[in-house]
Chain A
């Protein structure tokens, strides 16, 4: 019978949650790296026991940990993230130029074909790649060198590169997203990049239709349709049917179009999930009701899913890395909250139950479907 392994990164360590295909009873392992901020953990698609984890601390900086046995044991690998050449400046919150400074790794994306190749999205925004299992990191500096870098600015969480999507149909094509610069696409395995933000409108920048400057919170893609992208932006849920060449809004009847996460059902490319969050600055669910919203039409028409989720007095947030789906026949949906809960639905969102409810604030959730 298949199993699932949920990798939860929290503000004070990592937790590994495992269950069989029923997803009713869970074993909890952790905290791993207790006391450290675990921004993201992710497993290799070609070797599920190869895991990578981003471990960071305001005191001690960044480490990368690697496991070859599904998270039972870990070993630190390379943590030297050095920008290529003279890093230059980006915009600071007040609009003044600010030097590029490495702070942390937000996202680790293992290659679809090689367990030793892994990409790292970092703050201040840049993309790094390792081809030796995390031992050494090299910046793919064509992204930062695109020319628009001086106009990029940090969002409230920092100027982070948080989304890395590898095209399953074209090994040379990849997508990334940066808060607050926008989305970018490469057609040559990361050597050169172009911004793909046409159709995005952001009232918090001088030109709402600008080529860059948009605070993209997350992008999701279905493996079977890599040209279709879904985006949760800092306000607006967006869709592209042409690999990002153009975007149109699909917020439809959502109670608020602000949020952080977005994901796609494993078997239904037109079924997508978001968690609306009230903003500006409140950053908790509307009316104190934690609800996932599902669209079975690729956007615009949304239904609220709250069965099993708290429907009163709930004021948690769900951060951008904190939703994932498994690929079992009945698609499982998972998300973690800043209140320390990790919720799971084994029936595509119809009903929910907490796997755990008292972890430190959850920063990221990934799930692996295991044979």
Chain B
């Protein structure tokens, strides 16, 4: 499946991309599998979204899709069908905090 992923501006700079990223995800489309695919394509993002060891989401980042906050769902929860179908992007959002 081709999954659309929107990442924060600073991570786009690191990955040297503009706009959304399209990823090929094989198997179940979950937060975990999308992030695996993202990090495989852009190794520079390893450690910037989730911890290298614990694989926990960094605390100032959130995961949204289809107007829902998916941040607290187990990482292996299937993403909404619209994301799987490529109709809606999966958003990685930096918290609005600090200057």
Residue in A35, A79, A80 whose beta carbon sits within 8 Å of that of B10 in the complex? A35
Shortest distance from the beta carbon of B83 to any chain A beta carbon, whole Å:
23
Chain B minimum-CB-distance residue to A34: B13
Chain B minimum-CB-distance residue to A83: B53
- Contact (Cβ within 8 A) A82 B52: yes
Q: How many residues of B contact A (CB 8 A)?
A: 18
B46 at the A/B interface (Cβ < 8 Å)? yes
Q: Which residues of A contact B77 (CB under 8 A)?
A: none
Chain B minimum-CB-distance residue to A12: B99
How far, in whole Å, are A63 and B58 apart by their CA atoms in the complex? 14
- Contact (Cβ within 8 A) A80 B60: no
How far, in whole Å, are A82 and B53 apart by their CA atoms in the complex? 8
How far, in whole Å, are A61 and B59 apart by their CA atoms in the complex? 10
- Contact (Cβ within 8 A) A60 B52: no
B24 at the A/B interface (Cβ < 8 Å)? no
A58 at the A/B interface (Cβ < 8 Å)? yes
The 9 A-B residue pairs whose C-beta atoms are closest, nearest first, are A60-B48, A59-B60, A59-B94, A76-B44, A80-B52, A79-B47, A61-B47, A61-B48, A58-B60
A62 at the A/B interface (Cβ < 8 Å)? yes
A152 at the A/B interface (Cβ < 8 Å)? no
Using a CB–CB distance below 8 Å, which chain A residues touch chain B? 35-36, 57-63, 76, 79-80, 82
Q: Which residues 65-99 of B sit at the A interface, judged by CB distance below 8 A?
A: 94-95, 97-98
Q: Which residues of B contact A80 (CB under 8 A)?
A: 46-47, 52
Known contacts A79-B47, A82-B53; is A61 also within 8 Å of B58 by CB?
Answer: yes
Shortest distance from the beta carbon of A104 to any chain B beta carbon, whole Å:
12
Shortest distance from the beta carbon of B37 to any chain A beta carbon, whole Å:
19
Main secondary structure of the interface of A (DSSP, over half): loop
Q: Which residues of B contact A82 (CB under 8 A)?
A: 52-53
Shortest distance from the beta carbon of A236 to any chain B beta carbon, whole Å:
34
Shortest distance from the beta carbon of A127 to any chain B beta carbon, whole Å:
18
Q: Which residues of A contact B48 (CB under 8 A)?
A: 60-61, 63, 79
- Contact (Cβ within 8 A) A57 B10: yes
Q: Which residues 16-66 of B sit at the A interface, judged by CB distance below 8 A?
A: 44, 46-49, 52-53, 58, 60-61
How far, in whole Å, are A60 and B93 apart by their CA atoms in the complex? 11
Q: Which residues of B contact A63 (CB under 8 A)?
A: 14, 44, 47-48
Besides A59-B10, A60-B49, 12 new A-B residue pairs in contact (Cβ under 8 A), listed by A number: A36-B10, A59-B60, A59-B61, A59-B95, A60-B8, A61-B58, A62-B47, A63-B14, A63-B47, A63-B48, A79-B47, A82-B52
Using a CB–CB distance below 8 Å, which chain B residues touch chain A? 8, 10-11, 14, 44, 46-49, 52-53, 58, 60-61, 94-95, 97-98
How far, in whole Å, are A35 and B95 apart by their CA atoms in the complex? 15
A-B contact pairs, 13 of them (CB 8 A): A35-B10, A58-B97, A59-B8, A59-B95, A60-B8, A60-B48, A60-B49, A60-B58, A60-B61, A62-B47, A79-B48, A80-B46, A82-B53
How far, in whole Å, are A215 and B94 apart by their CA atoms in the complex? 34
Chain B minimum-CB-distance residue to A76: B44
How far, in whole Å, are A150 and B10 apart by their CA atoms in the complex? 36
Shortest distance from the beta carbon of A225 to any chain B beta carbon, whole Å:
40
Q: Which residues of A contact B60 (CB under 8 A)?
A: 58-59
Q: Which residues of B contact A60 (CB under 8 A)?
A: 8, 10-11, 48-49, 58, 61, 94
Q: Which residues of A contact B58 (CB under 8 A)?
A: 59-61
How far, in whole Å, are A102 and B86 apart by their CA atoms in the complex? 36
Q: Which residues of A contact B98 (CB under 8 A)?
A: 58
Shortest distance from the beta carbon of A101 to any chain B beta carbon, whole Å:
10
How far, in whole Å, are A61 and B46 apart by their CA atoms in the complex? 10
How far, in whole Å, are A324 and B53 apart by their CA atoms in the complex? 36
Q: Which residues of B contact A36 (CB under 8 A)?
A: 10
Shortest distance from the beta carbon of B98 to any chain A beta carbon, whole Å:
6
Shortest distance from the beta carbon of B47 to any chain A beta carbon, whole Å:
5
